[in-house]
Amino acid sequence: MEVSVLNIKGAETGRKVSLNDAIYAIEPNDHALYLDVKLYLANQRQGTAKTKERSEMSGSTRKLGRQKGGGGARRGDINSPVLVGGARVFGPTPRDYSFKLNKKVRQLARKSALSYKAQENAIMVVEDFTFEAPKTKSFIEILNNLNLNGKKALFVMPGADKVVYLSARNIQRVSMMPASALNAYKVLNADVIVMAEGALEVIEGNLTK
């Protein structure tokens, strides 16, 4: 499919770019998308939740009541999970939530996410741009020119551009990332994908190897 290239003023440049059908026009695989989104969210987890188990609590180990005949659940010392203030049974312990996902599955997921956005006509291509210095006002002008106000927009840049990133980081509903870090979660979470022209080549290189 072909998409018109816009400049940062929102006007057409008269040029068009062809989006690779092997990336933007495949039959989306929902299970691969699920796995890649699950991987991303799992990697965001700190995994530091912890509760004390019976052996880790301070308190007398004296048995408080008879084994039988009390009319209720049997219990041992004061740290018993049966009692208020006692230990927790099988509580969380620090762990690593990350898991392995094959490279081809990750690639399929990202192609599927981009294909969904292409079907929705939610992909825009703009000329490569940068700023001389970080300025949020300049980035807001770009959003206005592209009619993106109120929309959740993901800007995909050819590489890490600190000046543009600093200009956009305080704007709600706008996120930015280099093309090499693109993932299914970020693509699906955005209403519109705005790709700098140079990012297309990076994405194609990463997803067609």
Please give the model's pTM, rounded to 2 decimal places: 0.83
pLDDT tens digits, one per residue of 71-101:
888 888 999 998 888 899 999 999 999 999 9
Same structural domain, 203 and 187: yes
The string of pLDDT tens digits covering residues 127-157 is 999 888 999 999 999 999 999 988 999 999 9
* H/E element, 137: helix 136-145
65 lies in the same domain as 152: no
pLDDT greater than 80 at residue 184:
yes
Say if residue 33 is in the same domain as residue 76: no
Q: Using one digit for the tens of pLDDT, what is the confidence trace for 7-19?
A: 988 888 888 899 9
pLDDT category at 103 given cuts 50, 70, 90 is very high
Cβ proximity of 63 and 40 under 8 Å: no
If asked whether residues 117 and 39 sit together in one domain, one would say yes
For residues 30 and 56, membership in a common domain is answered with: no
Tokens representing residue 164 in the block: 């543009």
User: In whole angstroms, what is the distance from residue 113 CA to residue 2 CA?
Assistant: 18
Domain count, the chain: 2
Same domain, 83 and 158: no
Same domain (yes/no): 56, 41? no
Range of the domain at 171: 2-46+99-207
